């Protein structure tokens, strides 16, 4: 829940609706503003099992052993092609974006079961639905989150705990500015010639992004419904992605979705590669 993030906006919105909120972050200092507003803050590293258990005990002690809503939102991005990826960073991404949420959910299930309105939220992404060039690791982690949420929904339904997959489109958070264009295209990259395309696409995505506060209001509205959606779509390009997922055959959408086609237009001419020259 660091300042400027989706988690920060969600913490504020739940607090504004009367919830008692426990906001977490690896860096306690990034939540100072939330603390000043009366939101309880706890330092947490979701990749550390012992740290997770410590927070479970702390929340349980403060609430009497119950939890109404668990928001799994922590995450990191990694914008590199598969060919240019650093495997240590890819493994770290999955540890945070997938395994960490799995561990958090598993640890808090006993508290959710004691609530009369238990809800688990997972922040996935449209990148897990349609191919996003130069974003394979992040997209794969979000596809995994969608699968996790769907399976968990079936497992917890008999006990009255709801699970919502927040299929998130473009939202302007503090994650977006962290993309360093020159790092995405390292020297020697096969994709260096199309760096201008990426810069233009990135600029357009920022311009069409949904503000975090607007996104958060919609999410909390959905959570408060008697029968919330299993998949809640929100953010820039989310409607287009939903339409593609419904009306375009998978065999077509995974080969040439519009954003990818525009991004890689004429790549063979720019790089000198073609299908006939690659073994």
Digit-by-digit pLDDT tens for the chain (279 residues) are 777 899 999 999 999 999 999 999 999 999 999 999 999 999 999 999 999 999 999 999 999 999 999 999 999 999 999 999 999 999 999 999 999 999 999 999 999 999 999 999 999 999 999 888 899 999 999 999 999 999 999 999 999 999 999 999 999 876 555 555 657 888 899 998 888 888 787 777 777 789 999 999 999 999 999 999 999 999 998 988 889 888 877 766 666 544 554 555 545 555 554 444 333
Catalytic residues: 138, 142
How far, in Å, CA of 268 to CA of 19, rounded?
54
Q: What pLDDT shows up at residue 2?
A: 72
Residue 203: HSE in the Cβ half-sphere, 13 Å Cα cutoff: 6
User: What's the predicted TM-score (pTM) here?
Assistant: 0.88
Tokens 């998949």 belong to which residue?
231
In this structure, what token pair is assigned to residue 263? 């991004």
CB neighbour list of residue 274: distance below 8 Å, 6 or more residues apart? 268
Q: What is the structure's pLDDT at 176?
A: 56
pLDDT at 254: 64
- Look at residues 200, 180, 197 and name the one whose alpha carbon lies nearest to residue 269: 197
| Run of H or E including 47 | none
Q: Which two tokens stand for residue 156?
A: 């917890």
Looking at beta carbons, which pairs linking 211-216 to residues 24 or more positions away fall under 8 Å?
A: 211/171, 211/172, 212/4, 212/5, 212/6, 212/8, 212/9, 212/171, 212/172, 212/173, 213/9, 213/12, 213/13, 215/6, 215/9, 215/168, 215/171, 216/6, 216/9, 216/10, 216/12, 216/13
3-state secondary structure of 188: coil
What's the confidence (pLDDT) of residue 151? 99
**Can you list the domains of the chain with their CATH numbers?**
6-270 (3.40.50.720)
pLDDT of residue 199: 78
Q: What is the pLDDT at residue 261?
A: 45
């Amino acid at each position: 829940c660091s300042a400027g993030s989706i988690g920060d906006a969600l913490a504020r919105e739940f607090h504004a609706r009367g919830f008692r909120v426990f906001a977490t972050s690896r860096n306690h200092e990034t939540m100072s503003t939330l603390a000043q507003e009366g939101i309880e803050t706890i330092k947490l590293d979701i990749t550390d099992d012992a740290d997770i258990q410590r927070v479970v005990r702390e929340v349980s002690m403060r609430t009497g052993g119950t939890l109404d809503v668990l928001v799994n939102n922590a995450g990191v991005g990694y914008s590199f092609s598969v060919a240019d990826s650093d495997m240590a960073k890819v493994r770290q991404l999955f540890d945070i974006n997938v395994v960490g949420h799995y561990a958090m959910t598993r640890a808090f299930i006993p508290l959710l079961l004691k609530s009369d309105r238990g809800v688990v939220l997972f922040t996935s992404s449209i990148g897990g639905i349609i191919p996003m060039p130069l974003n394979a690791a992040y997209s794969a982690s979000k596809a995994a989150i969608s699968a996790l949420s769907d399976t968990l929904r079936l497992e917890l339904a008999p006990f009255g705990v709801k699970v919502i997959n927040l299929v998130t489109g473009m939202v302007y958070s503090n994650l977006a500015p962290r993309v360093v264009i020159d790092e995405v295209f390292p020297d020697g990259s096969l994709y260096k010639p199309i760096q201008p395309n990426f810069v233009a696409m990135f600029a357009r995505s920022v311009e069409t992004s949904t503000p975090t506060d607007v996104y958060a209001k919609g999410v909390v509205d959905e959570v408060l419904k008697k029968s919330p959606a299993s998949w809640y779509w929100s953010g820039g390009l989310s409607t287009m992605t939903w339409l593609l997922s419904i009306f375009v055959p998978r065999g077509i959408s995974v080969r040439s979705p519009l954003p990818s086609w525009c991004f890689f237009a004429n790549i063979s001419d720019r790089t000198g590669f073609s299908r006939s020259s690659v073994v």
